A and B are shown apart, each in its own frame.
Chain A
């Protein structure tokens, strides 16, 4: 699926992030192409969340470059990243559980009759769009006025993803989208990711701990350990054991078995 001839959608070169004297990222290169699902894997504390927080404008890198569609960029705020087409679906999803699906879908970007905070909401139009956009990636909401709190975890993921896409995300960053979910809902989210992939050119950066999920839907892998890239490749290039080994931080299964035996 990924075609190396095309320009990468998003690229980082030598990204460094220091928290005081602690180096969370130490020269990370990441290349993501249009239309691919790019799995970002690594142990706890490897620096995955730090990396995506830089990409989504939450942190500023200490050093290094971010290049979006061939142009170097610098984000002063999450807003800048959103405007550059980077949509982040956080672990807590940034939803207000107490209000409706539609109100969450358009949160901060409501459609109003006059472009003023006191302009009346175009509720009908917003309901229609929210329902349509969520249907596109696989969920039929029975009632766009139902509070988000009454939806399942998988449905909330879909809502957050549909929202990011509708507001122009070219790269979707999903930070452990399946970690807090049950088996059935995890599959729902994977299906949603597939549907997004089928929409066309949207790239997805998927952070996960789950090797099986990564294997099931990722086209390309980048492995982080202790703030550095220790391996990368497409799904074809990597053998089954490679993934397991790199996820464990580069140690051989044999070494681990030995460590346990000691």
Chain B
């Protein structure tokens, strides 16, 4: 007997792979490919017509404002996709995410607008039987953190309840959360209408408006707390008074920056005037050449060559301008509201405008103030989810609960607790989404979040999550959110194409991803 044959083992039959092969076998590789393709599409298609560039970042899709807006869409979807994705890995579904967003936003906005009370109805017999209400307590002025906490109490409870019903009854989560979808959306509309019976509201409206711009409430020296915009609209004397206590070097740097802006704006105006002035001459030249009038053409050519516009003189910087710019630089007196609804990376975006001059729009002003805060929140949540799923005991429990429920149970994994926790986490993500939205736009609407649950599930599937559970990664979920968000933008820029084609594209990507995921899963299960 050949000795090398006798020492051979079953495990030797698993061919060791080259690094390239094992890279290509990673479940995220397909989605990452699609993501890069969409990056390229967005870049090239958004390059303005008539211009030529090999650099995709020259396109409108990747100018400062494009990045700001795209990342917002991607991050918002990314936040709820994390909740949906982790739950799917554990083998369950949540169709109530969209309604949960609507409910959370409405709840938070109502508490911020009208306060919070616990009211107990009871039947009174004095003067005929009727229902009376006893107000246990009423807080009129609820802080942002208070409103978030109160909302979380409701939404996390609903998440827990759905999870509890699923694990206790053994019903498919699809049905239970479908119930949640209708229940929560209805509850949101009903309660908004009920509150909008108040005399100060449009009767029957399912929105909350006229919230103050909470994240922009600042402490103005000598005036106390007020909204930034009202502070900037103060009488000139007040503005001058505010400026008195500002250190000289701060004033100097603000002034320098305002002068830079004035110069940019003036340059842009000059540029616009020049193009506008030359355009008619160029058209006349074309006509002249067409009609064969050589002398005429020559004259016009001369005119074009000698065409000059007087450069626009930059606007003078006044103390009032400096005072308003100073007010713009005061940081928020409501850090929690600002954390969820404000901007981040402002110093970097400022730097990219002055001195770098990249973050500049066509009129010479700064293009984007920064990124939406929800991007940061998404990054934080994604890192946490990554660590939990791939590096902790809880992660192993999540995978096994979805991968082989009986095996997990037999090994003592508290599978019911795992599932319920993830239903709660899904509700948490929906609430975070709503929180960002409320503090960004200062309104709420019962229709908010419509269809978001399906988008979140789609992003997770595109990112390599298998619907039957037990398989997928956080990196995949992130990539899925990118693909979903980028597709919408990229198709918008393709010339001569209906923007809704992005849905056609996504539909195909979803099916292709699901097929691919199933194939990878079967290969790992050893059934292929």
Chain B associates with chain A = yes
- On whether A109 and B404 interact (CB within 8 A), knowing A98-B471, A103-B396, A149-B524, the answer reads no
Choose among B10, B388, B406, B471 the residue that contacts A155 (Cβ–Cβ < 8 A): B10
Whether A95 sits at the interface, judged by CB under 8 Å, is: yes
- For window 1-44 of chain B, which residues contact chain A by CB distance below 8 Å? 9-12, 14, 16
Mostly, the B contact residues are helix
Q: List 17 A-B contacts (CB under 8 A).
A: A78-B410, A79-B412, A94-B407, A97-B404, A98-B404, A108-B397, A108-B408, A118-B388, A118-B394, A120-B392, A121-B391, A121-B396, A123-B391, A141-B11, A142-B11, A150-B14, A151-B10
Is B410 a contact partner of A96 (Cβ separation < 8 A)? no
In the assembled complex, the CB of A248 is this many whole angstroms from the nearest CB of chain B, namely 33
Whether B400 sits at the interface, judged by CB under 8 Å, is: yes
Known: A103-B396, A120-B387. 18 other contacts (CB 8 A): A94-B404, A94-B406, A95-B404, A97-B526, A98-B403, A98-B525, A99-B399, A107-B411, A107-B413, A108-B408, A116-B393, A117-B393, A117-B397, A121-B395, A150-B524, A151-B10, A155-B11, A185-B10
- For window 369-414 of chain B, which residues contact chain A by CB distance below 8 Å? 387-388, 391-397, 399-400, 403-404, 406-408, 410-413
Q: What residues on A are CB-neighbors of B407 within 8 Å? A: 92-96, 107
Q: What residues on A are CB-neighbors of B391 within 8 Å? A: 120-121, 123
Whole-angstrom CA separation of A107 from B411 in the bound complex? 6
Whole-angstrom CA separation of A139 from B5 in the bound complex? 16
Whole-angstrom CA separation of A57 from B374 in the bound complex? 50
Is B9 a contact partner of A140 (Cβ separation < 8 A)? yes
Choose among B11, B394, B396, B400 the residue that contacts A139 (Cβ–Cβ < 8 A): B11
- For window 131-169 of chain A, which residues contact chain B by CB distance below 8 Å? 139-143, 146-147, 149-152, 154-155
Q: What residues on B are CB-neighbors of A109 within 8 Å? A: 411-412
Whether A112 sits at the interface, judged by CB under 8 Å, is: yes
Whether B521 sits at the interface, judged by CB under 8 Å, is: yes
Residues of B in contact with A, size category: 20 to 34
Choose among B399, B526, B527 the residue that contacts A103 (Cβ–Cβ < 8 A): B399
Whether A59 sits at the interface, judged by CB under 8 Å, is: no
In the assembled complex, the CB of B414 is this many whole angstroms from the nearest CB of chain A, namely 9
Is B11 a contact partner of A107 (Cβ separation < 8 A)? no
Whole-angstrom CA separation of A93 from B387 in the bound complex? 28
Closest B residue to A141 by CB, please name it. Answer: B11
Is A92 a contact partner of B406 (Cβ separation < 8 A)? yes
Closest A residue to B13 by CB, please name it. Answer: A152
Whether A36 sits at the interface, judged by CB under 8 Å, is: no
Choose among A79, A82, A119, A142 the residue that contacts B393 (Cβ–Cβ < 8 A): A119
Is A149 a contact partner of B388 (Cβ separation < 8 A)? no
Is A98 a contact partner of B521 (Cβ separation < 8 A)? yes
Q: What residues on A are CB-neighbors of B12 within 8 Å? A: 142
Q: What residues on B are CB-neighbors of A143 within 8 Å? A: 14
Whether A110 sits at the interface, judged by CB under 8 Å, is: yes
In the assembled complex, the CB of B202 is this many whole angstroms from the nearest CB of chain A, namely 47
- On whether A98 and B393 interact (CB within 8 A), knowing A140-B11, A150-B524, A155-B11, the answer reads no
Whether B78 sits at the interface, judged by CB under 8 Å, is: no
- On whether A110 and B393 interact (CB within 8 A), knowing A98-B525, A99-B399, the answer reads yes
Is A142 a contact partner of B14 (Cβ separation < 8 A)? yes
Interface set of A (CB-CB < 8 Å, partner B): 78-79, 82, 90, 92-99, 103, 106-110, 112, 116-121, 123, 139-143, 146-147, 149-152, 154-155, 185, 188
Is B392 a contact partner of A121 (Cβ separation < 8 A)? yes
Is B10 a contact partner of A149 (Cβ separation < 8 A)? no
Mostly, the A contact residues are loop
Q: What residues on A are CB-neighbors of B16 within 8 Å? A: 142
In the assembled complex, the CB of B328 is this many whole angstroms from the nearest CB of chain A, namely 41
- On whether A108 and B411 interact (CB within 8 A), knowing A98-B470, A99-B399, A103-B399, the answer reads yes
Whole-angstrom CA separation of A97 from B405 in the bound complex? 12
In the assembled complex, the CB of A10 is this many whole angstroms from the nearest CB of chain B, namely 20
Is A117 a contact partner of B10 (Cβ separation < 8 A)? no
- On whether A96 and B470 interact (CB within 8 A), knowing A103-B399, A107-B400, A140-B11, the answer reads yes
Whole-angstrom CA separation of A143 from B22 in the bound complex? 13
Whole-angstrom CA separation of A95 from B470 in the bound complex? 12
Q: What residues on A are CB-neighbors of B521 within 8 Å? A: 98
In the assembled complex, the CB of A211 is this many whole angstroms from the nearest CB of chain B, namely 26
Is B393 a contact partner of A90 (Cβ separation < 8 A)? no
Closest B residue to A184 by CB, please name it. Answer: B10
In the assembled complex, the CB of B525 is this many whole angstroms from the nearest CB of chain A, namely 4
In the assembled complex, the CB of B456 is this many whole angstroms from the nearest CB of chain A, namely 22
Closest B residue to A154 by CB, please name it. Answer: B10
Is A119 a contact partner of B11 (Cβ separation < 8 A)? no
Whole-angstrom CA separation of A143 from B9 in the bound complex? 13
Is A99 a contact partner of B403 (Cβ separation < 8 A)? yes
Q: What residues on A are CB-neighbors of B400 within 8 Å? A: 96, 99, 103, 107-108
In the assembled complex, the CB of B4 is this many whole angstroms from the nearest CB of chain A, namely 15
Q: What residues on A are CB-neighbors of B408 within 8 Å? A: 96, 107-108
Whole-angstrom CA separation of A191 from B334 in the bound complex? 70
- On whether A94 and B393 interact (CB within 8 A), knowing A142-B12, A147-B524, A152-B10, the answer reads no
